[in-house]
Structure 1
């Protein structure tokens, strides 16, 4: 073969090799670009998911949805917490000298229904500005899952004309002179609440003999849950004291008001040292001695709490 023809062949072979190499490079570049693009898309999606997750978390942690207890704690109603604070741990019954707890439990029912969005106070008018003059109105009659709450809700729905907070506490307690309204009395409230606590594993049921009669008692078995509740209230007036009821957790505020009205607040602070006991009692006293009419106008979410306190202050 002549030299020119061989040179041509070598040139053609070199050109083909260069073309193949360039083609492979182009494919590699396109694949790399696609890979980066896919990664960017995936990162973008993950970022969007992360933002959505953070928004959901922030919404769950908003003041309206915030729960003062740990998610692993047993969920108790305000009535159950008040009764638990009033019970003697070993004996399983409340003090025989306590004649306030029955009314306190009924007040707790009204506050619990308001917090669950079932009832509310009618808006203030020129003629009815005071909390004790405003009627309790029905917002929703959907069941709550609690027998006492649903029974009260049924009474409120069926009552015409509507009644005030103070009247409802009297009707639910049975302290009324109207024989036609005795049907609204909630019977065996303490026993029914105690049975709920037994079902939740906090109390147990026993029979005790008191010479002339036998009485069913409910000693505390889950002392951890009761101590958690006591510690929460103690901290609310000590380490976590904010000196402003509008900044307090609504359920904690309600429980302090109900514990005072039910005459069981002494049980909450009895385990404190003398110095801390004095501070806690003085702060709790200052709280419940605030003017309910003034505090009730500051936030509609706490109106029912202050209305219940106003009813107990008047009675």
Structure 2
């Protein structure tokens, strides 16, 4: 698992966070009509996976750190949370036999298309499985980390590149070719710094000015993004531009949040069980 205390990359990440956002207006996203908390879904036009990748990208270079081996599984966790927040999947109900989050299976709630290629591909996989799988198993299957050759079909391929292309289509990234001595690589530098700044500012404020000291009072998408940024080892990029005192406060509050018992918090959380289940899966890995 990642650590919340490494600060070696602060200077590098901080160079990309100088501009202030001049707009925080987004387009609406798909939402579950049965959800009674529309505040979590208003003004959204990026998926959780797109936000995580955007946080992990080096702005000018256009690629994630070569040393980051967590982001692939983090993005798959984001897909599961996004589908749950959109009302497409949910965890099986609590029972006497299966009480723990990581024992409960992921069930299909609706196979209605979301309009996002990765989300819809994952929906088809979940629908096609003969027996339901747990959150942890689905993260492994979607990442391709399985020894069962019959389940390799569930692997999502080229996820980072596909998410980057979606961000290019939305005008947030651009596409370039870079030469790395022995090979050429397609990169996606940030072309819309305002959008990334809006995202960074939102997370910084959630841990500072708008800190509520209770995850159940946080917007679920904000809570989910903090969990995924931590699991994908990109959380350092969020707080790197802060002054030392604020950096320490934000990191300590985030650590306290992520150190909470997912089992206990999920029992309190209406509609956010999948977020805590994903955190539990990464805590165990």
Q: Which has the larger radius of gyration?
A: 1
| Residue number in structure 2 paired with 1:217 | 187
Q: Which runs of 4+ in 1 moved over 4 A?
A: none
* Higher normalized contact order (CA 8 Å, seq sep 6+, divided by chain length): 2
What is the rounded CA distance, in whole Å, between the counterparts of 1:242 and 1:66 in structure 2? Answer: 16
CA-to-aligned-CA distance 1:254-284 (integer Å, 9 cap, x gap): 0000000000000000000000000000000
| Residue number in structure 2 paired with 1:85 | 55
CA-to-aligned-CA distance 1:214-251 (integer Å, 9 cap, x gap): 00000000000000000000000000000000000000
Tell me by how many angstroms 1:160 deviates: 1.4
What is the rounded CA distance, in whole Å, between the counterparts of 2:205 and 2:238 in structure 1? Answer: 11
| Residue number in structure 2 paired with 1:12 | none
Tell me by how many angstroms 1:299 deviates: 1.7
What is the rounded CA distance, in whole Å, between the counterparts of 1:94 and 1:210 in structure 2? Answer: 15
What is the rounded CA distance, in whole Å, between the counterparts of 1:260 and 1:174 in structure 2? Answer: 21
3-state secondary structure, aligned to 2:271: helix
Matched, 1:178 2:148: yes
CA-to-aligned-CA distance 1:188-209 (integer Å, 9 cap, x gap): 0000000000000000000000
Gaps of 5+ in 2: 1-32
Matched, 1:144 2:117: no
Matched, 1:64 2:41: no
What is the rounded CA distance, in whole Å, between the counterparts of 2:202 and 2:102 in structure 1? Answer: 30
Alignment RMSD (CA, Å): 1.3
Say how many residue pairs are matched.
252
What is the rounded CA distance, in whole Å, between the counterparts of 2:121 and 2:277 in structure 1? Answer: 21
3-state secondary structure, aligned to 1:297: helix
| Residue number in structure 2 paired with 1:113 | 83
> Which one of the candidate residues 259, 266, 276 is aligned to 1:289?
259
| Residue number in structure 2 paired with 1:26 | none
3-state secondary structure, aligned to 1:215: strand
What is the rounded CA distance, in whole Å, between the counterparts of 2:270 and 2:232 in structure 1? Answer: 24
From the superposition, tell whether residues 63 and 232 of structure 1 become closer, same or farther in structure 2 (CA, over 3 Å). farther
Q: Counting helix residues as a fraction of each chain, which structure ranks higher?
A: 1
What is the rounded CA distance, in whole Å, between the counterparts of 1:93 and 1:167 in structure 2? Answer: 28
Q: How does 1:20-39 map to 2 (within 5 A)?
A: none
Which deviates more from structure 2 when the two are superposed, residues 293-302 or residues 201-210? 293-302
| Residue number in structure 1 paired with 2:30 | none
Tell me by how many angstroms 1:66 deviates: 1.2
